[in-house]
Amino acid sequence: MKSFKSNDDLKVSIVIPTFNRPQLLDRLLNSITRQTFKDFEVIVIDDASPVVEDYKKVVRTYQTKIKRFRYLRMKDNSGAPQCRNKGILAAKYPLIALVDDDDDWLPRKLEKQLEIFSSDWKNVDLVYTWAYCIAKNGKKILLKPEFEGVTLNDIYKENFIPSPSVLLKKDVLIKLKMFDPSFPSCQDWDLWIRLFQSGYKCRAVHDYLVNYYFGMSNNISTSPRVVSGYFQILKKHLRPAFESNFKNGFILLNRCLTLLLKIKIKGTSKN
């Protein structure tokens, strides 16, 4: 196994929002303990879960396994974007790894991303990896995007970045004002659009290093939250897209309308 030498610029704060899923959080934290890169802190933000004792057991377990481990708790249920923002502001290190409590990582995930940051720090702001998308029935969909640089056209076409794979600079997140809590869904897509609109650059690790689970809780793919999220994307980003380039505006409009049509068809088929 390759050892990775870190320095002060290459330290990672792992930010994990969680709500009512201590068993899944346990699975994620276990995968984090197996990372080949070790110079990180873990910040778990509990969104006022009612199962307090179950979380205490998980916290006690990983406080002994992870050297730098913090457990923060929201006073009121506020949603994942607010939890992520709280964790980002609390982070001590220059790089932020984003992951949800129901996903997990393969052992070399951080190591391979940090190799890219180490080799080209000034010219890379975000590094993502390929991912296995795993449905509740065990079916796998492989996500292997290869977009790099300032990929504004590509992010308008599709939210191609697997969110639990992302490692990015904290100062970039602060400048972008982090996640927009007004979005009921699509908060990550909104953030990536703003990131590329601002000229920041991404790189990709061409390896499957994340398990991205679907259907672990209530499926919201056809819910009003998702519909509202797509309309919020259009409300916030359609005009700037058209103003920057008519083609960009058309691409974003077409993508959102296509997704909304799929939701309508899927919802109709269930009735």
Residues 167-197 have pLDDT tens digits of 999 999 999 999 999 999 999 999 999 999 9
What was the pLDDT predicted at 98? Answer: 98
What was the pLDDT predicted at 87? Answer: 98
Question: Is 207 in the same domain as 247?
Answer: no
CA triple 9-61-59, angle to 5 deg: 70
Range of the domain at 83: 8-213
What was the pLDDT predicted at 269? Answer: 53
Asked whether residue 129 carries a pLDDT value surpassing 80, the answer given is yes
pLDDT, one tens digit per residue, over 67-107 is 999 999 999 999 999 999 999 999 999 999 999 999 999 99
Asked if residue 145 belongs to a domain, the reply is: yes
Asked if residue 191 belongs to a domain, the reply is: yes
pLDDT, one tens digit per residue, over 4-26 is 455 777 999 999 999 999 999 99
Listed residue (60, 50, 52, 58) closest to 26, CA to CA: 58
Q: What is the pTM of this model?
A: 0.93
Question: Is 165 in the same domain as 189?
Answer: yes
Question: Is 124 in the same domain as 247?
Answer: no
Asked whether residue 128 carries a pLDDT value surpassing 90, the answer given is yes
What was the pLDDT predicted at 1? Answer: 39
Asked whether residue 35 carries a pLDDT value surpassing 50, the answer given is yes
List, in sequence order, every residue forming a beta bridge with 71; answer none if it has no partner: 44
Please report, for the domain that includes residue 174, its CATH number: 3.90.550.10
What was the pLDDT predicted at 23? Answer: 97
- pLDDT band, residue 265 (cuts 50/70/90): confident
Question: Is 169 in the same domain as 231?
Answer: no
Work out how many domains the chain is built from and give that number.
Answer: 2
% pLDDT > 90, the chain: 85
Asked if residue 3 belongs to a domain, the reply is: no
Listed residue (122, 237, 243) closest to 186, CA to CA: 237
Asked if residue 1 belongs to a domain, the reply is: no
Listed residue (128, 152, 97) closest to 207, CA to CA: 128
Question: Is 135 in the same domain as 241?
Answer: no
